[in-house]
Amino acid sequence: MTEIILQEHRLTWEKKPILRALYRTWYQEMTAQLSPGETLELGGGSGNFKEFAPNVTSSDIVPLPWIDVVADAQDMPFQDQSFDNIVMFDVLHHIENVTLFFNEALRILRPGGRIIMMEPYISPISWLIYHFLHPEPVNFKQDPLIFVEPSPNRQPFDANQAFATTLFERKFSQFRDKYPQFLKVYHRRLSFFIYPLSGGFEKPSLVPMFLYKPLLNLEKMLSFMSRLLAFRILVVLEKREV
């Protein structure tokens, strides 16, 4: 089932120019945060990030023709200090135990290595869309730092879209106490109008391509309202010696 969904996403990518333009903007912002060296992409999905960055090993939890390695973020098949970057797009909120992932990230990253994460952001506006129109739940009552017993019935697309907002804003002090080796070097809320209007991979777009750049410029002008309007958050953590 997961393989079918990701194959459908790849077809949508090829047919939907507004989606490619949006993701191109996001990918370029993510690649600007990369440290020089080898990059591991977790949750490679439809396999598009490799077009935008060099030296990328793409992985996913299921085998796909365009994926290099099958890997679970909670137990990765890589040697210690194998990579300089870990890139994740809409992956963290699908991980059952994020503490297992961060433990693994500390292990496989070299000193100075980075985790670059693009995730859903739960603002007052985005909550309405994510809660009522999106199939994945938003649950602020769940603490991502508390280990949960792995469920044998869990599916790859099971999720909690509140994870990034909880970890890096509401409970960042707890995250920092648990992982002092990670320094947060970048944190930006983004995507106010274009993303919800684009329909993503699942729904038809409500915005024509000629409005893409004007809307993008409008979002930049309204960046001071990101806490109210944002649908996305980009966070970069850097591994340091403590």
The residue with greater pLDDT, 241 or 68, is: 68
What is the identity of the amino acid at 7?
A: Q
Check residue 72 and give its pLDDT.
96
- CA nearest to 67, candidates 16, 19, 3: 3
Checking if the pLDDT of 3 tops 80, the result is: no
Q: Which domain holds residue 37?
A: 2-239
38-46 mean pLDDT: 93
Reported as type and span, the H/E element at residue 236 is strand 232-239
The number of folded domains in the chain is: 1
CA torsion angle for 233, 63, 49, 76 (degrees, to 10)? 60
CATH label of the domain that carries residue 184: 3.40.50.150
Helical axes 17-31 vs 2-15, angle rounded to 10°? 100
Checking if the pLDDT of 6 tops 80, the result is: no
Six-digit token string for 147: 């280990």
What is the identity of the amino acid at 17?
A: P
Check residue 177 and give its pLDDT.
98
147-171 mean pLDDT: 95
Length of the chain measured in residues:
242
Phi, psi of 41 (to 5 degrees): -100, 120
Label residue 173 exposed, middle or buried (CB < 10 Å: 0-12, 13-18, 19+): exposed
Helical axes 212-221 vs 17-31, angle rounded to 10°? 40
pLDDT tens-digit profile of 71-128? 999 999 999 999 999 999 999 999 999 999 999 999 999 999 999 999 999 999 999 9
Q: Round to whole Å and give the CA distance between 198 and 195.
A: 5
175-189 mean pLDDT: 98
CB 143 within 8 A of CB 166: yes
